[in-house]
Structure 1
Amino acid sequence: MKTFHCDACGQQVFFENVRCEACGHALGYVPERAEVMAFEADPDGHWLAVRGAGPRHYKPCRNYAVENVCNWMLPADDPQALCPSCQLTRVIPALGQEDNRQRWFRIERAKRRLYYTLALLGLPLDSRQTDPHQGLAFEFREQIEGGPVVHTGHSDGVITLNIAEADDAYRERMRTELGEPYRTLLGHLRHESGHYYFMRLMREGPLLKACRQCFGDDREDYAAALRRHYQNGPPAHWEQTHVSAYATMHPYEDWAESWAHYLHMVDTLETAQACGLSLAPAHPDQPSLAADGEAVAHAGFNDLIGRWFPLTYVLNSLNRSLGQPDGYPFTLATPVIGKLRFIHQVIHRQKMPSPD
């Protein structure tokens, strides 16, 4: 993610901030401008942008003004009450239950970061209201004692998340039990978005045959693959062909895990570039990294992967110096890089106009 500054005083601010601690102005993220902007109230009760060309009158998303779980803004004349991100959520947890508001806040915060990256890449983000057949929707559900089991997953454009995943202790327990290197809210949402975009971009499309050659045949029996995975575990030496153990379960999961990893790379690389991070080691054989490359959203795959290895090298080296586990505990074997390349090509192809 890029860096942000208060456009009233220049203080560095962050994507989730609602107030500039330096000058006191209210802050809000304006998605159509991809900027965190400073606001002050006008006599009509609208929020007036302090700086910037174009429309200056805005209103906060209802979930900002009323629920305090959002910080996005809409043009004052927008008929919608919810921002584009909040419009995608169609089920929220019961707010009368203790801690559910905090869980909802954490999940929406992660979803807005996902939205930012998907928008950066030019991916379709239609809601179910605007596209009832292919639009995206999120349901954040609580497991009720005696009720149906709430599984985190995707089905026909609807991403469901068990809100227990917003509890750090629960999530860490599950991560340990399943032997996962990472388990985060953002990671869950990235993974499930991969299933959604497989549906949007690959189903019966011109790239489907090539996708099956890369990831395997998605028509394989999913239920049987699931049973086999949890009975036998991943195959030996899975690191040589897959980005994670879970990716070995079924071609659908291989695609979704690789998709999530690609988003992970793009977001981290954009952050490094926005912060001006560069590596100029004293020893010529150590990895180097320039800070002035092409914008991540438009860079070629060779450029991205060429930046990725030096960045993760120094990230892990810093963590080890602090006595911490690797910040990037993954190995990208050649077949995995090929899968990431394929996803890069799919994303950039879908942004281009179709040939006549």
Structure 2
Amino acid sequence: MKVFQCGHCNHPLYFENTQCENCGHLSGYRDLDRQMLTFDPDASSLTSDREKFEYKYCKNKEYEVCNWLLVRDSQQEYCRACQLNRTIPDLSDKKNFPKWQNLEVAKHRLIYQLQKIGMDLPSKMDNDEGLCFDFIAKRNNPKIMTGHANGVITILLREADSVLREQTRKEMQEPYRTLIGHLRHEVGHYFWEQLIFKDQEVLQTFRSIFGNEKENYADALKAYYKNGAPDDWHDSYISKYATSHPWEDWAETWAHYLHIMDMVETAHFFGLEVNHRDISESMKISSTFDPYTVKDFKTIIRTCVPLSFAVNSINRAMGISDVYPFVITKKVIKKMIFIHELLLTRR
């Protein structure tokens, strides 16, 4: 995520800010060029401080779940991120509201990243091959699960409950379980269909790296939940779950590719360095580049590894779990290079 600033006083702004904490000017995100605009709160219209153009907020601003902008005369009421919502929780249940807020924060960050990569994001409500999100409660229905099917990404509302999510993480013996992680994983299944399945040449390369996806998916998952991952899974996979089937290996690797790109982009915009005199040269880095402009993925990895080690060390100093508790092996890097080079053709 890039660093944003108030257009009135240059104070830093978070991606989700609707107001500058320093000067009080209103703020909103324009996704067309990934800029944060600010507005005089006492003005009669939402006129940007620097450009003097008029805008309006996405309709979901009234629920405090979106700060994205549309031009004032737009016929759309919802921004391009909120247009992808097919189902939102029942807001008459007050317990649902904060969970939906958490889901929207994660989803908007996902859309920011996918737009920066250059992915097409048509709404499934307008295009059968498009994408949409269902944020729903399970309601004791065993058939409803977090997952992806034909462009529909379903996230159970319970995942937005930090206590329940932590309980599930422990039960599943997962080192990492977050909303943005779920969204990045599930959208990976959607883009497998868009980027891999429709191109026979790319599909053959995929199979040579990830394996044959024609392996029976249901049987593979059943075997995984019965037997677990092989003992040597660390050598070739980013997670235990990635061993279950080539589709899941792709989705897990895709999600971690997005994790790494976001981590390095954020470090770049903050100008972070890992450069202590007593550590080895291989662990010294200066975040001097935007990873989305870099062709060689190994350059990105050389920045990510020392950076994640430093951030994990800070967390440990505070008694908090590692931000990125994963080891990226050469075989996993090969898979990420495949994703990186595939996406470079999209930009």
Report 1:30-179 matches (<5 A).
30-40=30-40, 46-52=45-51, 56-64=53-61, 66-130=62-126, 132-145=127-140, 147=141, 149-179=143-173
The aligned counterpart of 1:224 is 219
The secondary structure found in structure 2 opposite 1:29 is strand
State the match for 2:345 in structure 1: 349
> Aligned to 2:260, which of 244, 255, 265?
265
Instruction: State yes or no: 1:322 paired with 2:301.
Output: no
Q: Aligned to 2:194, which of 200, 212, 235?
A: 200
For 2:339 and 2:307, the matched residues in 1 are separated by 21
Query: For residue 254 of structure 1, what is the amino acid of its counterpart?
Result: D
Matches within 5 A, 1:175-190: 175-190=169-184
User: How far apart, CA to CA, are the structure 2 residues paired with 1:284 and 1:261?
Assistant: 26
C-alpha contact 1:41 1:48 (8 A) present in aligned 2: no
Query: Would the aligned equivalents of 1:42 and 1:48 in 2 still touch at CA under 8 Å?
Result: no
SS in 1 for 2:268: helix
Matched residue, 2:15: 15
- TM-superposed CA distance for 1:97, in Å, is 1.4
Residue in 2 that maps onto 1:354 = none
Q: Percent identity?
A: 41
Q: SS state of the match for residue 154, structure 1?
A: strand
Kept in 1, the 8 Å contact 2:86–2:125? The answer is: no
Listed one character per residue, the Cα deviations across residues 54-83 of structure 1 (whole Å, up to 9, x for unaligned) are x7110010000x322111110111111000
**Which amino acid letter does the alignment assign opposite residue 202 of structure 1?**
I
Kindly provide the CA deviation profile for residues 283-325 of structure 1, in whole angstroms up to 9, marking residues without a partner as x.
Answer: 36241112323x2111121211111111122122333333443
Kindly indicate whether the alpha-carbon contact (under 8 Å) linking 1:201 and 1:350 is maintained by their aligned counterparts in 2.
Answer: no
Q: Give me the whole-angstrom Cα distance separating, in 2, the residues matched to 1:101 and 1:285.
A: 48
Amino acid at match of 2:231: A
After TM superposition, where is structure 1 displaced by more than 6 Å over at least 4 residues in a row?
A: none
CA distance in 2, matches of 1:204, 1:22: 50
CA distance in 2 between counterparts of 1:17 and 1:117 reads: 18
Q: Which amino acid aligns with 2:346?
A: Q
2:307 equivalent in structure 1: 311
Q: CA deviation at 1:106?
A: 0.8
RMSD over aligned Cα atoms: 1.6
- Hey, what does 1:238 align to over in structure 2? 233
Q: Cα distance 1:136–1:289, how it changes in 2: closer, same or farther (>3 A)?
A: same
Post-superposition Cα deviations, 1:265-293, rounded to whole Å, max 9, x if no partner, equal 00010111110101222136241112323
The 3-state SS of whatever aligns with 1:260 is: helix
Structure 2 counterpart of 1:266, one-letter code? M
> What is the letter of the counterpart of residue 191 of structure 1?
H
Give unmatched runs, 5+ long, in structure 2: none
Using the TM superposition, give the Cα deviation of residue 237 of structure 1 relative to its aligned residue in structure 2, in angstroms. Answer: 1.2
TM-score after normalising by structure 1: 0.93
**Secondary structure of the corresponding residue to residue 202 of structure 1:** helix
Pick one of 272, 285, 296 that aligns with 2:280. 285
Matches of 1:325 and 1:237, distance apart in 2: 24
Q: Kindly state the Cα deviation for residue 235 of structure 1 after the two structures are TM-superposed.
A: 1.0
Instruction: Say if 2:235 and 2:329, in contact at 8 Å, map to a contact too.
Output: yes
In the TM superposition, residue 148 of structure 1 has moved relative to its aligned partner by 5.1
Asked if the contact 1:215/1:339 (under 8 Å) is kept, the reply is yes
User: Hey, what's the Cα distance between the residues in 1 that align with 2:45 and 2:77?
Assistant: 13
Offset of residue 41 of structure 1? 6.1
Taking structure 1 as reference, are residues 179 and 149 closer, same or farther at Cα in structure 2, changes over 3 Å only?
same
Q: What is aligned with 2:4?
A: 4
How far apart, in 2, do the equivalents of 1:110 and 1:324 lie? Answer: 21
Partners of 2:24 and 2:41 within 8 A in 1: no
How far the C-alpha of 1:204 sits from its partner, in A, is 3.1
User: Quick one: which amino acid aligns to residue 58 of structure 2?
Assistant: C
User: CA shift at 1:187, angstroms?
Assistant: 0.4
What stretches of structure 1 of length at least 5 have no aligned partner?
352-356
The total of aligned residue pairs comes to 344
- Aligned mates of 2:56, 2:213 — CA distance in 1: 44
